[in-house]
Amino acid sequence: MSSSKCTKFRTEPFEYNAALVCRDVPASLAAHALRREWSEVDLQVTRDEQAGYLAALRKVDVEFAVVEPNEEFPDCVFVEDCAVVVEGRALITRPCAASRRKEVDEIRRILRDDLRQKIYEIEDADATLDGGDVLFTGEEFFVGISKRTNSQGAMALAKAFPNYSVSSIKITDQLHLKSMMSMAGPGILAIGRSKEAKSALQQILQKSNFDYCTLTLPDDEAANCVYVKGFLLHCTKQEYPESYKVFEEKFPNDVRIPIPNSELHKVDGGLTCRCILVQKPF
């Protein structure tokens, strides 16, 4: 990991004790989930991947809140896009894709009633915001201005979280900002090595108030990992051997949990897409 000077980062924003997840993959995902390039999907393999993901979250001992798979919403396993949750506040997003708009209703109910988060809504009818475009570093937000998220969506985020700065990052090729980056720990920004990832990093470094350690992964997809309770859910050796090597070198074995994602990746799903991490009040 490299940084000219590494600021001391707060750990509290990452102290999650609950995860909102989809119990299983709906059968409709195979034929109808959105994907940038058409690819056949093996439903059973996606289900095995989701079961492995839930098992990993059980291992790290977070409480589960579960949304049932809904056949009307082929992308519903990707709960991350439906809300941005930080320190007890939950902004319900407005996903850009029409087929995903109503996914937020059940997510809102669970966040409010089961996880006791304070709900914020987007008022601007022209705003679009997918949670996959929102990177919370623990200190500030970055929002991908993408095919899915517009500047009105970024403004809605800033309004819901006035205590944090929100910077927009222009992206062109990737689906979401987090298709090529995520937080691998407090102050540790995991980032891919594509041209687009490098451009996003440059924008982040220009706009940021903080000096993050960057963990550069050879594969953009592998830069999407989940840091929770001191554990790191990341790519498998089979899928991304070079990136796996980086995780192996930088993190102790007992905090790393490799998670298969090759089938869900065919419908543009990364590891962060499959949960919303929450600090549930005691």
Active site residue 273: yes
Told to judge if 6 belongs to the known catalytic residues of this protein, a careful annotator would answer no
- Determine the Cα–Cα distance for residues 24 and 46; give it in Å rounded to an integer: 9
In the complex, the smallest distance separating the C-beta of residue 34 from ligand GLY, rounded to whole angstroms, is: 3
- In the complex with ligand GLY, the residue whose CB is nearer, 43 or 97, is 97
CB of 51 to ligand GLY, least distance (A): 19
Would you tell me how many other CB atoms lie within 10 Å of the CB of residue 37? 6
Length of the chain: 282
Radius of gyration of the chain (CA): 17
Shortest Cβ contact with ligand GLY: which residue? 34
Residue 5's contacts (CB-CB under 8 Å, 6 or more residues apart) are 211
Nearer CB in complex with ligand GLY: 102/112? 102
Decide whether 75 or 219 has the Cβ nearer to ligand GLY.
75
Of 35 and 256, the one with the shorter C-beta distance to ligand GLY is 35
From the CB of 35, what's the least distance to ligand GLY, in Å? 6
Kindly give, in sequence order, each residue whose CB lies less than 8 Å from that of residue 241, ignoring residues fewer than 6 positions away.
none
Which residues contribute to the site for ligand GLY (CB under 6 A)?
A: 33-35, 75, 78, 81, 97, 267-269
Q: Which residue's CB is nearer to ligand GLY, number 176 or number 234?
A: 176
State the nearest-atom distance from the C-beta of 229 to ligand GLY, in Å: 26
Shortest distance (Å) from residue 176 CB to ligand GLY: 8
CB of 267 to ligand GLY, least distance (A): 4
**39/238 with CB nearer ligand GLY:** 39
Structure tokens at 215: 């963990």
Q: Which of 176, 213, 235, 275 is catalytic?
A: 176
- CA 141 vs. chain centroid, Å, equals 13
The catalytic residue among 76, 225, 235, 273 is 273
Longest dimension (CA), the chain: 49
Active site residues: 176, 273
